[in-house]
């Protein structure tokens, strides 16, 4: 069975500081994808960044980067120069090819980290 663990229920960070949100995962598949989503107080799910299990380079998207350590099964999200608008819930999620046997399965999510950026 696959599992996503986010060990930080909440974090307070000063504006303009960098922040790392932890995510560890567990899968027996070799081929999988790791995703981070942001959920602001308005409730929508916003895709931030993706890392494939075969990608050798860490993914980056603007101020977001993913610190992918395959041997440790961790996929931490790094936000550089945090802004007040970064305050939100952040979810780590994994997708692998049909561990339930049917293929095209959905994402498995962690419980999230509530990030609050303080001025």
Partner 1 sequence: NAGVTQTPKFRVLKTGQSMTLLCAQDMNHEYMYWYRQDPGMGLRLIHYSVGEGTTAKGEVPDGYNVSRLKKQNFLLGLESAAPSQTSVYFCASSYSGTPYYEQYFGPGTRLTVT
Between 9 and 119, CB nearer to partner 1: 9
For residue 14, the minimal CB distance to partner 1 (Å) is 26
Between 83 and 98, CB nearer to partner 1: 98
Nearest to 10 by CA among 110, 89, 74, 91: 89
Between 51 and 87, CB nearer to partner 1: 51
Strand partners, 26: 3
Q: Phi and psi at residue 84, in whole multiples of 5°? A: -55, -35
Neighbour tally for 20: CB within 10 Å: 14
What is the separation of C-alpha 96 from the centre of its chain, rounded to a whole number of angstroms? 15
For residue 111, the minimal CB distance to partner 1 (Å) is 5
For residue 57, the minimal CB distance to partner 1 (Å) is 15
Binding positions for partner 1, rule: CB under 8 A: 4, 31-33, 35, 37, 43-45, 47, 50, 52-53, 91, 93, 95-98, 102-112
Strand partners, 67: 76
């Amino acid at each position: 069975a696959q599992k996503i663990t986010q060990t930080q229920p909440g974090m307070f960070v000063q504006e303009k500081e960098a922040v790392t949100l932890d995510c560890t995962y567990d899968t027996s598949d070799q081929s999988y994808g790791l995703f981070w989503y942001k959920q602001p107080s308005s409730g929508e799910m916003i895709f931030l960044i993706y890392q494939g299990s075969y990608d050798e380079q860490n993914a980056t998207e603007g101020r977001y980067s993913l610190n992918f350590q395959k041997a440790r099964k961790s996929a931490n999200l790094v936000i550089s120069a945090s802004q007040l608008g970064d305050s939100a819930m952040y979810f780590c999620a994994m997708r692998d090819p049909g561990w339930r046997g049917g293929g095209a399965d959905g994402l498995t999510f962690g419980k999230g980290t509530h990030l609050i950026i303080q001025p």
